[in-house]
Amino acid sequence: MKIKYNGLKTEKRDFKRPKPYFLMHNTRTDMLKDLEKDFENLVIIGNGGSVTSFRALNYAFRDQHSKNVEIVTTMEPGYLKHLDHSLKTDETLVMPISKSGNTTGVIESTLFFMEKGYEIMPLTSKEGLLHDIAEEKGLEMIKHPDIGGRYTGLSETALAPSALLGLDIEQLFEKGREAQKTYWNEDQAIKMASALQNAEEQGYPEVMTAFYSTRLFGFYPLMVQLMHESVCKKGEGQTFYGDLGPEFQHHTNQRIFGGKENVLPIFIESSHEHSEIIIPEDLEDFNLRGRKLGDLNGKSLENSLRAEAKGVKQALDQENRPYIEIDIGSVNYGNVADFMAFLQFLPVYSGWMRGVNPFNQPNVEKSKEFGFEERFNGE
């Protein structure tokens, strides 16, 4: 993975570094790879860290399995009914995921599918209501690791459903663990954490993540969760948002260049398969922005995609605006696992640099409690 910092300092900053607990968890991939279920549709029910890492892996390796995957993060009745109408119970496996086992929305959605007769296989801890329901109904279960959800990308939480899809979870874990050790012992993730803090100090509290790869776009919700939930405490931290490139250029470029000058873009790119542009002879002389359409003949779509990103970078350079470039290279097991590990350490170092605990989420529970009580306050 190559990272470039444009207009940002990456100086070392002093902070304490206790060993992260996710670095010490050994996932039993030998047990997970033996999971055998006959299904065509996999429905994952969960919120936040229960689904964000798996979503990233599913996007990245979508061409390596033939299953239909649905990730359910809401109890919206119309959406659940739509899924039920589009799925067959005897061809579908439903996996609710919850570390606590007490996430009300996950329980509600699970009960919806249970009542319809779907096969349910929870992934949860031994405590909690989801575990109790599974025991009462005699359901097969997978144990949730004792790791906060957003840091479970190389654990059972993400790798169990990946194993059910037939992905090579042993390689994902082995490559990911190697990368975790690298980011613990070397300073690449520390440099980016320092660059982000430097940007914040320069007046850039907003970070726009521009994904020029649909396969990597699954990492977007994970990146937002990791940075918000880990770093944004006690008035610290930056707001992360993003979109696919070049799509975002048609609207958010106006915000970046015409709005407040407080947005730090991060370009996230990968290499792509080669595909040439073919122009029919009878269209070659047509005008395209002052050039002949035929001038594109034989050029590659990958080059066009990179040219779009480069155009935004050139506009930023012209205005002396900072930005970061991340290129993971080919979308393969090693590089995806490396990116997963990098994104785990980035918020940890970012939190420690700002003097906050990157492993808790003290401001998340209040609204959950209000939302739970509102369920019983009538229609």
Same domain, 216 and 308: yes
Asked if residue 257 is part of any domain, the answer here is: yes
Beta-strand relationship, 2-6 and 323-327: antiparallel
Rounded to whole angstroms, the Cα distance separating 328 from 336 reads: 8
In this prediction, residue 379 carries a pLDDT of 61
Query: pLDDT for 201-228, tens place per residue?
Result: 999 999 999 999 999 999 999 999 999 9
Per residue in 279-295, pLDDT tens? 999 999 999 999 999 99
- In this structure, the answer to whether residues 76 and 204 fall within a common structural domain is no
* 378 pLDDT tier (thresholds 50, 70, 90): low
Q: Do residues 6 and 78 share a domain?
A: no
Which CATH number fits the domain that encloses residue 241?
3.40.50.10490
Residue 371 counted as domain residue: no
Residue 290 lies in a domain: yes
Strands 41-45 and 239-244, bridge-based pairing: unpaired
Is residue 372 assigned to a domain? no
Closest CA to 140 of 90, 92, 95: 95
The confidence band for 143, taking pLDDT boundaries of 50, 70 and 90, is very high
User: Are residue 198 and residue 341 in the same domain, yes or no?
Assistant: yes
Which residues form the domain of 341? Answer: 2-16+173-353
- Whether residue 376 is contained in a domain is answered as no
**Residue 110: burial class (beta carbons within 10 Å; 0-12, 13-18, 19+):** buried
With cut-offs at 50, 70 and 90, classify the pLDDT of residue 178. very high
Q: Which pTM does this prediction carry?
A: 0.95
Is residue 91 situated within a structural domain? Answer: yes
pLDDT in tens, 44-99: 999 999 999 999 999 999 999 999 999 999 999 999 999 999 999 999 999 999 99
Residues 155 and 270 in one domain: no
pLDDT digits (tens, 9 = 90+) for 305-360: 999 999 999 999 999 999 999 999 999 999 999 999 999 999 999 999 999 999 99
Q: Tell me: do 159 and 193 sit in the same domain.
A: no
Q: Choose the final residue of a domain: 117, 147, 167.
A: 167
Question: DSSP string spanning 283-317?
Answer: GTTSEETTEEGGGGTT-BHHHHHHHHHHHHHHHHH
- Do residue 151 and residue 296 come from a single domain? no
Question: What pLDDT score does 124 carry?
Answer: 96
Clarify whether residues 35 and 70 are in a common domain: yes
Both 136 and 270 in one domain: the answer is no
Averaged pLDDT, 14-21: 91
List the alpha helices (DSSP H) in 205-251. 219-231
> Is residue 365 helix, strand or coil?
helix
Transcribe 246-283 into DSSP letters: TGGGGTHHHHHHHS-S-EEEEEEE------B----GGG
In a domain, 293, yes or no: yes
* Total number of domains in the chain: 2
Q: State which of 167, 198, 219 marks the end of a domain.
A: 167
Residue 185 in this model has a pLDDT that exceeds 80 = yes
Amino acid (one-letter) located at 93: L
If asked whether residues 272 and 138 sit together in one domain, one would say no
Is residue 125 assigned to a domain? yes
| Same domain membership, residue 140 and residue 180 | no
Same domain assignment for residues 8 and 57: no
